[in-house]
Structure 1
Amino acid sequence: MEWFNVGKIVNTHGIWGEVRVISTTDFADERYEVGSELGLYKADGSKPIIVKVASHRKHKNFDLLTFEGFSLLKDVEPLRNAVLKVSEKYLTDLEDNEFYFHEIIGCTVESLEGETIGKVTEILQTGANDVWTVQPAKGKAHYIPYIEDVVKSVDIDNKKITIDVLDGLLS
């Protein structure tokens, strides 16, 4: 079974076992819903543990979570820098032209003419639209906005994305 990143615990919050999470999912309300199970992968590389979300709330740019059985500050301090992951069995079907990050990262990006531009290495969330970091075989990365005018097709099965290279896009 595969596990996919949904966030990273960056600190504790208060004294009652709350942790501060930088989320890497578009589905925070769903992933952090009370009762949801997440894999907790500690920074020390120890065996991951399954935690159940006891509470979730937003605070500034963070998601604040508590887990069942971790009710005090001393219980969650060792969790700092741990990565939270969701099991593939909890992934839901998305609407047309929506994709999970893990489906896009690693795809080869080509122009309409068939020229290989590079591979998607990262997805940046800007608020307006996602921007895909595309690393060519040589040279510096390109930043491709995920908008209809640029991204013409996404073939997840073949890990191939076709874009219209607008003037100035790759400079």
Structure 2
Amino acid sequence: MTKDDCYLVGKLTKTHGLKGELAIWLDVDYPEEYEELDSILLDIKGELIPHFVEEIQIRANKSIIKFEDIDTIEAAQKIVNCDLYLPNDNLAELDEDQFYYHEIIGFDIVDDVQGKLGKVTAVYTSEAQDLIAMNYQNNEILIPVSDEIVKTINREKEELYTNLPEGLLEIYLSDDDDTPNDSDEEL
């Protein structure tokens, strides 16, 4: 199984205790959906290695995971900072116009007014606002994720359809002509 067949779930951040437990950061919308996890794939030196879950405790600020066959702090330390993956088959089926962030990387952004603009390069998540990053005219453009802006998706054409707010592109493209530079100064 390759990373293309999987999605990123989170990361092992540090050891916890002396018996092989690890703190886990879950990069998912609903961590509680992973409380019954039986196994998970660890990215160890670029290879996905399955590990069986002995116990997992989902908490608001820090979740803890314990794997079978990892019983010491030394063994746990060896897998700290490993990314965690699950097969795409584990993902819930979405409505036709919904998408998972990982699946739109590389999709073309097609705007109602501007037409085809560029490709999705990343998706940034935060508590305040999720943002889709796109490369447009050698600039990174950040598009807020909202139903008013991101309209629908065409998986076959690998296109994401948007209705960008007026002036959004111009904000990223405008040069700050009022800022003096060294060549503007008189000697």
**Normalized against structure 2, the TM-score is what?**
0.77
Q: What's 1:85 paired with?
A: 85
**Shift of residue 126 of structure 1?**
2.1
- Aligned-residue Cα RMSD (Å) equals 2.1
Match for 1:125: what amino acid? Answer: T
Matched, 1:23 2:26: yes
- SS in structure 2 opposite 1:109? strand
Unaligned runs of 5+ in 1: none
**Normalized against structure 1, the TM-score is what?**
0.83
Q: What's 2:123 paired with?
A: 123
1:98-138 Cα distance to aligned partner (Å, 9 max, x none): 322222221110211352222112112222442111122x3
Counterparts in 2 of 1:5-154, with a 5 A limit? 5-30=8-33, 32-42=34-44, 44-45=45-46, 47-53=47-53, 54-58=55-59, 60=61, 62-95=62-95, 97-113=97-113, 115-136=115-136, 138-154=137-153
- SS in structure 1 opposite 2:78? helix
- Say if 1:150 and 1:35 are closer, same or farther in 2 by CA, change over 3 A: closer
- Say if 1:76 and 1:115 are closer, same or farther in 2 by CA, change over 3 A: same
- Say if 1:51 and 1:110 are closer, same or farther in 2 by CA, change over 3 A: same
1:11-42 Cα distance to aligned partner (Å, 9 max, x none): 21222322222322224222x32343211111
- SS in structure 2 opposite 1:48? strand
Distance (whole Å) between structure 2 residues aligned to residue 68 and residue 55 of structure 1: 11
Distance (whole Å) between structure 1 residues aligned to residue 153 and residue 107 of structure 2: 9
- SS in structure 2 opposite 1:167? coil
Higher helix share: 2
Matched, 1:168 2:167: yes
Q: What's 1:3 paired with?
A: 6
Point out 4+ residue stretches in structure 1 off by more than 3 angstroms: 95-98
**Shift of residue 59 of structure 1?**
5.2
1:64-92 Cα distance to aligned partner (Å, 9 max, x none): 22212223212211001211100123222
- Say if 1:149 and 1:35 are closer, same or farther in 2 by CA, change over 3 A: closer
- Say if 1:98 and 1:66 are closer, same or farther in 2 by CA, change over 3 A: farther
Distance (whole Å) between structure 2 residues aligned to residue 27 and residue 36 of structure 1: 17
Match for 2:41: what amino acid? Answer: G
Unaligned runs of 5+ in 2: 172-187
Identity of aligned residues (%): 26
- Say if 1:59 and 1:72 are closer, same or farther in 2 by CA, change over 3 A: farther
